[in-house]
């Protein structure tokens, strides 16, 4: 007995195992990946701690003044030192709106990716493991879903929600509608990938061994098969995070996303767009740059993860 | 007579993040014209890497670190890829385990054969097609004339391997490298392919390097056999000698571990304890010493060279007793009883 | 059937009593394209008869080997015998219990007594699980040891039994060589305290020196634990070393069945003779042999009559039309027209 307790002491912990892993090794070897990880981390932290670092709370009517509107960035001749990236039409500090906007963008992004992942992985597992008619039905639904562009699905769900909830209530639930809209338009990729991996894994002998001792299909799917198909899921999730953020921005830009009172990056770009040709370029350019950097950094991370987890590309 | 292929002090390295692995270490052997040399070893012993090194197709980042490979008189280990491509197929034919890797699924068999024939020989397309047909007849494919227009997937596994043999011999190469040519085939088909390969190469005087893990195949096909262990040569000699009177403790153990159709089925199989080390963890001294029942101190300190051992050559200090420290008498007695021909009389061991 | 099962159980479990009884086992696979494609392309149904009426009796404590080449149906039989694949028709009784007729507790109780060792030690262990959890899983699944510490101790015991270190329980499968992984798989198979283990090509993925270790281990365990094996292999030398009784399969039919010694010293069916002649063997170095012509036919469309007739050197007219009857010759059962109507032990004077 005592020797078995020693086992845990001898084995390296998960932290050290990660530091010795091939994954970490390939991470360390790619400066671009390190840079994009650092940028992503800074942006996520900045969004998370926006209330602490932002110069003002752009959603608090008491702290903003219409008199401060349309200040250009601080470094131009007419700029004000207090507003580093200038102010918008309502006198809100652009830097602050970006930080707060990123919160909403990231929150929608993460939540919709998780929703898509849960739906997609579950359906993929069931389709792959159960097979037969169930598989056919799930995959045909996926095929149909795939023929709609993601943005169209999102618009459709948004429109339906708007019609049901009415304009006032809609503002309250807009966050959930966006998550649902984006989540539902991205699940297919997870389902297909997981189904493919499950078809491979389910024929492996460790699954036969588990069936032999009479484990239920549910147990086998979640305890045995799922951990072995998570690698590709993680890759898709990372790349999808960037896509989800952009989709949210697109929806907001089209005016079906979050309202201007609680602007996300997309809403900010839309608001600023109105002033682009009257010379107040900073209102739209800075949120635009932030969105581009955020999406690029996350996407590069996803690309690296895909290559690092794919033994063929090593 | 000059050997067809001569490998001298070949060393193949694979750089990895945890340091440089030595996949092949100081390997030397010759293949005489018309000879079949069997290369055996367990998975990871380096048999396939040796084959790939000879044909210049080492998987990157693997590389030949030192040593030389000569085909006839020409040195081929440092040729540019374009020159090597001409040698492959023309002067060295190749047969792999999976026939489908050597055949292009999109081209008819006849097209693939004539292509190889024409790169080697100047002749009309019609003459090449006729030669291709003769080749198919030679490898025993029924209705060869019509089969030339078939695609690879229209053949059965055994027939496909026959086509690959025809392809390997199409340019009349000096050497054929066959890497596990029968492993993917059923037992009954295996025998056909082995005897075909043997007969064709004998008729043409082609040398063969036969890489396999199956000692049975080697015993029936090869003239000489080269036993690899952890990327190093353990023993090389005539098949009869190595199978019946192995001189290296590893080959001795290996032969005894193989279940045979003769032998007493009720007896337990001899077993070699442990397993072959991974490339990153090859022990000091003789690579086999932790598993060897005759190992003594010298084996743990120093690496054996290849010494004459009976009718073969083996890299084991039991065959270099004059050259250094002696093992305990008991070990010598045991080794002698097991059939290892010692260079010095066992009685002198006690000194 | 049920009456028979009940009476079988009443018989005390003595040595040499039948443990596994397989009767008239059939398995048909439907390889047809989907219904819509069939209608559009006008193609018919395509069925493959993988197992075609196999009868076997495996006695307690013996090693019954099934030999065959690809397409012979040996792995399909293994899966039906352990309960992974339902038969199309026929029965499998273990200890007198119909394994495909039982449900619930009785079925669970029986499953515990049957285990399997697979061919590929790299695919048979879940790469994300520690060895300790892998070996402990059957113990947990059958609720054999409730206490976690006792269970760990049992896992250590099992690992030592197969020649590994109890400390190995904390490692992951990728830290082991092929032979060691196969030992882990054996430990897992032993964890539910089975009586009957199906070994499906347990050494064909291993190197020879390691193969000997695993074969010796399997024989050791059989002696110590009184196990019964169904041993499936294409390697005749390995089978000769392991088996007490051998069945030779050709395209889903058991063409010859005999005690191991008799089968290897006096093979009767022309296919068995051919197989024995074809095996490259280290004892036969330098021997020139005439290899048998032809390949295994496509199992979707096997030749009528005796499946072996196109390759058989002794083929007769009725071999091409009628399925041969089962003939008893000495202690062997042979499916061949040559032995029809009397014991013609050596029909072609060898």
- Say whether residue B154 is in contact with chain C using an 8 A CB cutoff: no
Span C18-27, mean pLDDT? 93
Among C127, C155, C167, beta carbon nearest to A228: C127
For residues A64 and A129, the model is more confident at A129
For C20-55, b where at least 16 C-beta lie within 10 A, e where not — what string? Answer: bbbeebbbebeeeeeeeeeeeeeeeeeebbbbbbbe
Measured distance CA(A252)–CA(A287) in Å, rounded: 13
Among C108, C123, C169, beta carbon nearest to A214: C108
Task: Give the distance from residue A302's alpha carbon to the nearest chain C alpha carbon, in angstroms.
Answer: 22
Three-class SS state of A86 = coil
- Say whether residue A2 is in contact with chain C using an 8 A CB cutoff: no
Task: Return the closest-CA partner of residue A162 out of A181, A145, A142.
Answer: A181
Cβ contact C123–A6 (<8 Å): no
Q: Least CA distance to C213: which residue of chain B?
A: B271
Among C207, C260, C282, beta carbon nearest to B260: C282
Three-class SS state of B221 = helix
Q: C-alpha distances in angstroms, C164 versus A260, B332, C140, C193? A: 67, 31, 21, 18
| HEC-encoded secondary structure of chain C | CHHHHHHHHHCCCCCCCEEEEEEEEEEEEECCCCHHHHHHHCCCCCEEEEEEEEEEEEECCCEEEEECCCCCCHHHHHHHHHCCCCCCEEEEEECCEECCCCCHHHHHHHHHCEEEECCCCCCCCCCCCCHHHHHHHHHHHCCCCCCHHHHHHHHHHHHHHCCCCHHHHHCCHHHCCHHHHHHHHHHHHHHCCCCEEEEECCCCCCCHHHHHHHHHHHHHHHHHHCCEEEEEECCHHHHHHHCCEEEEEECCEEEEEEEHHHHHHCCCCHHHHHHHHHCCCHHHCCCCCCCCCCCCCCCCCCCCCCCCCCCCCCCCHHHHCCCCCEEEECCEEEECHHHCCCCCCCCCCC
Q: C-alpha distances in angstroms, C96 versus B86, B196, C3, C196, C244? A: 67, 51, 10, 13, 22
Measured distance CA(A99)–CA(A213) in Å, rounded: 54
Task: Return the closest-CA partner of residue B155 out of B117, B100, B94.
Answer: B100
How many helical (H) and strand (E) elements, i.e. helices and strands, does chain B have? 13, 12
Mean pLDDT of chain B: 88
The least confident of A78-87, A191-200, B160-169 is A78-87
Q: Least CA distance to C215: which residue of chain B?
A: B269
> How confident is the model at residue C15, as a pLDDT?
57
Measured distance CA(C27)–CA(B65) in Å, rounded: 56
Mean pLDDT of chain A: 82
Measured distance CA(B62)–CA(B135) in Å, rounded: 36
Residue appearing with tokens 């400390």: C167
Longest dimension (CA), chain B: 76
Share of chain C above pLDDT 70, in %: 90
> How confident is the model at residue A16, as a pLDDT?
66
Task: Return the closest-CA partner of residue A209 out of B73, C135, B202.
Answer: C135
Task: Return the closest-CA partner of residue B170 out of B198, B220, B225, B132.
Answer: B132
Confidence of residue C8 (pLDDT cuts 50, 70, 90): very low
DSSP E strands in B43-152: the ranges are: 63-71, 74-75, 92-95
Mutate which: B157, B188, B190, B245, vs C, most C CBs within 10 A: B188
Cβ contact A206–C123 (<8 Å): yes
Contacts of A103 (CB under 8 A, 6+ apart): A47, A48, A50
Query: In a 10 Å sphere around its CB, with 0-12 CB exposed, 13-18 middle and 19+ buried, how is residue C230 labelled?
Result: buried
Would you tell me how many other CB atoms lie within 10 Å of the CB of residue A32?
A: 11
Q: Least CA distance to B45: which residue of chain C?
A: C207
Measured distance CA(B86)–CA(B119) in Å, rounded: 9
Sequence spans of domains, chain A: 54-313
Neighbouring chains of A at 3+ CB pairs under 8 Å are: C
For residues C215 and C8, the model is more confident at C215
> How confident is the model at residue B327, as a pLDDT?
85
> How confident is the model at residue A3, as a pLDDT?
37
Span C280-301, mean pLDDT? 70
Cβ contact A205–C124 (<8 Å): yes
ipTM of the predicted structure?
0.84
Size of interface A-C (CB pairs under 8 A): 74
Q: C-alpha distances in angstroms, C191 versus C84, C133, C145, C195? A: 19, 11, 11, 11
> How confident is the model at residue A111, as a pLDDT?
94
- First vs last Cα of chain A: how many Å apart? 41
Task: Give the distance from residue C342's alpha carbon to the nearest chain B alpha carbon, in angstroms.
Answer: 30
> How confident is the model at residue A4, as a pLDDT?
38
Cβ contact B186–C296 (<8 Å): yes
> How confident is the model at residue B233, as a pLDDT?
94
Span B170-199, mean pLDDT? 87
Residue appearing with tokens 């101190």: B297
A contacts of C122 (beta carbons < 8 Å) = none
Q: How many residues does chain C have?
A: 350
- Say whether residue B124 is in contact with chain C using an 8 A CB cutoff: no
- The DSSP code sequence of A171-182 is HHHHHHHHHHHH
Q: Residues B63, B53: contact at Cβ < 8 Å?
A: no
- Say whether residue B284 is in contact with chain C using an 8 A CB cutoff: no
- Res. B3: pLDDT tops 60: yes
Share of chain A above pLDDT 90, in %: 18
Element (H, E) at B40: strand B36-40
Measured distance CA(C252)–CA(C68) in Å, rounded: 9
Share of chain B above pLDDT 70, in %: 97
> How confident is the model at residue B217, as a pLDDT?
87
Mutate which: B161, B191, B202, B225, vs C, most C CBs within 10 A: B191
Sequence spans of domains, chain C: 3-16+57-65+86-233, 244-280+288-350
Query: Which two tokens mark A33?
Result: 């990946």
Query: In a 10 Å sphere around its CB, with 0-12 CB exposed, 13-18 middle and 19+ buried, how is residue A151 labelled?
Result: middle
> How confident is the model at residue B348, as a pLDDT?
44
pLDDT per residue as tens digits for the range A97-122: 888 888 888 999 999 999 999 999 99
- A118, HSE (Cβ side, Cα atoms, 13 Å): 8
The least confident of A147-156, C61-70, C110-119 is A147-156
- Res. A5: pLDDT tops 60: no
Query: Which two tokens mark C2?
Result: 């049920």
Would you tell me how many other CB atoms lie within 10 Å of the CB of residue A52?
A: 8
Span B223-245, mean pLDDT? 93
Q: Which fold has domain C3-16+57-65+86-233?
A: Rossmann fold (3.40.50)
C contacts of B42 (beta carbons < 8 Å) = 207-210
CA C19 to chain centre: 15
Q: Least CA distance to C171: which residue of chain A?
A: A11
pLDDT per residue as tens digits for the range B87-143: 888 899 999 888 777 888 889 999 999 988 888 788 898 999 999 999 999 888 888
- Say whether residue C180 is in contact with chain B using an 8 A CB cutoff: yes
| C-alpha Rg value of chain C to the nearest Å | 22
Question: What is the reported pTM?
Answer: 0.83
Contacts of B14 (CB under 8 A, 6+ apart): B20, B21, B23, B61, B62, B63, B279
Cβ contact C237–B260 (<8 Å): yes
Interface of C to A at Cβ within 8 Å reads: 82-84, 107-108, 111-112, 114-116, 118-120, 123-128, 132, 137-138, 141-142, 149, 152-153, 155-156, 166-167, 169-171, 185, 188, 192
Confidence of residue C5 (pLDDT cuts 50, 70, 90): very low
Query: Which two tokens mark B226?
Result: 């080269």
Span A206-218, mean pLDDT? 89
Three-class SS state of A87 = strand
Mutate which: C203, C209, C255, vs B, most B CBs within 10 A: C209
Among A10, A11, A206, beta carbon nearest to C124: A206
Size of interface B-C (CB pairs under 8 A): 147
Beta bridge partners of C230: C64, C198
Residue appearing with tokens 């002749």: B123
B contacts of C275 (beta carbons < 8 Å) = 187-188
Among C215, C241, C282, beta carbon nearest to B243: C282
Task: Return the closest-CA partner of residue B255 out of C69, C242, C237.
Answer: C237
> How confident is the model at residue C247, as a pLDDT?
95
Among B156, B159, B271, beta carbon nearest to C209: B271
Phi-psi group of B20: left, alpha or beta (phi > 0 → left; psi -120 to 50 → alpha; rest → beta): beta
- Res. B70: pLDDT tops 70: yes
Confidence of residue B42 (pLDDT cuts 50, 70, 90): confident
Confidence of residue A14 (pLDDT cuts 50, 70, 90): low
Confidence of residue C254 (pLDDT cuts 50, 70, 90): very high
- The DSSP code sequence of A192-261 is HHHHHHHHHHHTSHHHHHHHHTT--HHHIIIIIIHHHHHHHHHHHHHHHHHHHHHHHHHHHHTTSSS-TT
pLDDT per residue as tens digits for the range A37-81: 999 999 999 888 888 887 778 777 777 777 777 777 777 777 777
- Res. B273: pLDDT tops 80: yes
Cβ contact C188–A10 (<8 Å): no
Each as own residue / partner, the long-range contacts of residues C305-312 (CB below 8 Å, 24 or more positions apart, any chain) are: C306/C335, C306/C336, C306/C337, C307/C250, C307/C251, C307/C252, C307/C253, C308/C250, C308/C255, C308/C269, C308/C270, C308/C271, C311/C271, C311/C274, C312/C270, C312/C271
Share of chain A above pLDDT 70, in %: 92
For residues C44 and B304, the model is more confident at B304
**What is the dihedral angle through the alpha carbons of A194, A197, A199, A203, rounded to the nearest 10 degrees?**
-140
Mutate which: A5, A213, A217, A230, vs C, most C CBs within 10 A: A213
- Res. A2: pLDDT tops 50: no
> How confident is the model at residue A311, as a pLDDT?
53
C contacts of A204 (beta carbons < 8 Å) = 123-124
- The CATH class given to the A54-313 domain equals mainly alpha
Q: What is the DSSP letter of A148?
A: S
Confidence of residue C104 (pLDDT cuts 50, 70, 90): confident
Measured distance CA(B265)–CA(C266) in Å, rounded: 15
- Say whether residue C240 is in contact with chain B using an 8 A CB cutoff: yes
Query: Which two tokens mark A77?
Result: 């001749």
- Say whether residue C128 is in contact with chain B using an 8 A CB cutoff: no
- The DSSP code sequence of B303-345 is ----EEETTEEE--GGG-GGGSPPPPHHHHHHHHHTT---SS-
Mean pLDDT of chain C: 85
Q: C-alpha distances in angstroms, C35 versus A132, B68, C32? A: 13, 62, 8
Do you find a cis peptide bond into B61, omega within 30 degrees of 0?
A: yes
């Amino acid at each position: 007995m005592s020797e078995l307790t020693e086992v845990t002491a001898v084995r390296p912990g998960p932290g050290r195992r990660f530091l010795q892993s091939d994954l970490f090794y390939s991470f360390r070897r790619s400066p671009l990946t390190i840079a994009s990880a650092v940028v992503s981390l800074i942006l996520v932290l900045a969004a998370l701690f926006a209330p602490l670092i932002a110069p003002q709370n752009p959603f608090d009517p008491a702290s903003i003044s219409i008199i401060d509107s349309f200040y250009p960035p601080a470094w131009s001749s007419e700029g004000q030192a207090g507003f580093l990236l200038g102010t918008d039409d309502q006198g809100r500090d652009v830097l602050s709106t970006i930080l707060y906007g990123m919160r909403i963008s990231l929150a929608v992004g993460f939540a919709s990716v998780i929703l898509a992942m849960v739906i997609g992985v579950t359906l993929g597992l069931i389709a792959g493991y159960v097979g037969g008619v169930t598989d056919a039905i799930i995959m045909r639904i996926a095929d149909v879903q795939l023929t709609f562009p993601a943005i169209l699905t999102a618009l459709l769900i948004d429109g339906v929600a708007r019609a049901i909830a009415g304009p006032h209530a809609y503002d309250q639930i807009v966050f959930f509608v966006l998550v649902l809209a984006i989540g539902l338009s991205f699940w297919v990729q997870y389902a297909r990938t997981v189904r493919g991996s499950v078809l491979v894994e389910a024929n492996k002998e460790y699954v036969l061994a588990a069936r032999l001792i009479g484990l239920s299909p549910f147990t086998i799917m979640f305890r045995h098969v799922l951990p072995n198909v998570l690698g590709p899921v993680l890759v898709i999730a990372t790349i999808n995070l960037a896509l989800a953020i952009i989709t949210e921005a697109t929806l907001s830009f089209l005016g079906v996303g979050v309202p201007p009172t609680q602007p996300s990056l997309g809403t900010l770009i839309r608001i600023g767009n109105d002033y682009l040709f009257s010379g107040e370029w900073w209102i739209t350019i800075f949120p635009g740059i932030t969105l581009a950097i955020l999406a690029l950094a996350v996407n590069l991370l996803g690309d690296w993860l895909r290559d690092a987890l794919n033994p063929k590309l090593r | 007579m000059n050997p067809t292929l001569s490998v001298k002090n070949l060393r193949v390295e694979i750089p990895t993040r945890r340091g440089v692995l030595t996949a092949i270490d100081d390997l030397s052997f010759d293949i005489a014209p018309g000879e079949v040399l069997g290369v055996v070893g367990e998975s990871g012993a380096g048999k396939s890497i040796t084959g790939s090194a000879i044909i210049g197709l080492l998987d990157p980042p693997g590389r030949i670190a030192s040593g030389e490979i000569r085909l006839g008189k020409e040195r081929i280990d440092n040729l540019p890829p374009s020159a090597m491509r001409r040698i492959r197929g023309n002067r060295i034919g190749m047969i792999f385990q999976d026939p489908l890797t050597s055949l292009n699924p999109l081209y008819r068999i006849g097209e693939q054969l004539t292509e190889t024939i024409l790169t080697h020989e100047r002749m009309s397309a019609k003459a090449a097609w006729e030669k291709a047909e003769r080749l198919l007849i030679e490898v025993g494919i029924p209705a060869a004339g019509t089969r030339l227009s078939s695609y690879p997937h229209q053949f059965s596994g055994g027939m496909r391997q026959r086509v690959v043999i025809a392809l390997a011999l199409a340019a009349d190469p000096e050497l054929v490298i066959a890497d596990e040519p029968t492993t993917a085939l059923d037992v009954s088909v295996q025998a056909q392919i082995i005897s075909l390969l043997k007969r064709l190469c004998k008729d043409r005087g082609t040398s063969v390097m036969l890489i396999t893990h199956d000692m049975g195949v080697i015993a029936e096909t090869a003239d000489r056999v080269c036993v690899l262990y952890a990327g190093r040569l353990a023993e090389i000699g005539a098949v009869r000698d190595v199978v019946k009177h192995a001189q290296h403790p590893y080959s001795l153990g290996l032969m005894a571990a193989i279940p045979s159709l003769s032998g007493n089925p009720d007896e337990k199989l001899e077993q070699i304890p442990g397993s072959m080390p991974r490339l990153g963890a090859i022990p000091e001294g003789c690579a086999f010493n932790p598993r060897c029942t005759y190992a003594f101190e010298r084996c743990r300190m120093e690496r054996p060279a290849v010494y004459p051992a009976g009718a073969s050559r083996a890299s084991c200090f039991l065959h270099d007793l004059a050259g250094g420290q002696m093992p305990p008498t008991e070990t010598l007695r045991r080794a002698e009883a097991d059939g290892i021909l010692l260079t010095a009389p066992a009685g002198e061991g006690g000194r | 059937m049920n009456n028979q099962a009940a009476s079988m159980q009443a018989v005390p479990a003595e040595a040499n009593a039948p443990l596994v009884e397989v009767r008239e086992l059939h398995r048909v696979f439907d390889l047809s394209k989907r219904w819509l494609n069939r209608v559009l392309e006008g193609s018919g149904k395509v069925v493959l008869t993988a197992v075609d009426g196999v009868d076997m009796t495996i006695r307690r404590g013996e090693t019954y080997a099934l030999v065959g080449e690809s397409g012979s149906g040996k792995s399909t039989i293994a899966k039906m015998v352990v309960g992974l694949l339902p038969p199309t028709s026929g029965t499998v009784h273990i200890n007198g219990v119909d394994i495909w007729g039982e449900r619930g507790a009785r079925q669970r109780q029986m499953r515990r007594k049957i285990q399997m060792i697979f061919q590929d030690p790299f695919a048979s262990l879940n790469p994300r699980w520690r060895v300790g959890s892998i070996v402990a899983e059957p113990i947990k699944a059958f609720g054999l040891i409730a206490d976690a510490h006792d269970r760990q101790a049992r896992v250590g015991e099992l690992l030592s039994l197969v020649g590994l270190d109890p400390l190995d329980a904390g490692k992951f499968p990728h830290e082991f060589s092929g032979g060691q992984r196969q030992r882990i798989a054996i430990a897992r198979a032993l964890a539910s305290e089975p009586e009957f283990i199906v070994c499906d090509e347990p050494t064909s993925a291993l190197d020879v020196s390691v193969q000997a270790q695993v074969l010796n281990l399997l024989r050791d365990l059989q002696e110590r634990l009184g196990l019964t094996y169904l041993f499936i292999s294409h390697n005749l030398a390995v089978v000769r070393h392991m088996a007490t009784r051998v069945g030779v399969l050709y395209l889903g039919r058991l063409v010859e069945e005999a005690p191991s010694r008799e089968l290897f010293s006096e093979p009767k069916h022309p296919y068995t003779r051919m197989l024995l002649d074809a095996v490259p063997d280290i004892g036969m170095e330098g021997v020139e042999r005439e290899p048998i012509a032809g390949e295994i036919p496509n199992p979707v469309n096997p030749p009528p009559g005796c499946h072996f007739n196109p390759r058989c050197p002794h083929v007769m007219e009725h071999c091409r039309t009628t399925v041969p009857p089962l003939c008893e010759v000495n202690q062997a059962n042979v499916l061949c027209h040559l032995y029809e109507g009397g014991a013609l032990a050596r029909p072609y004077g060898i």
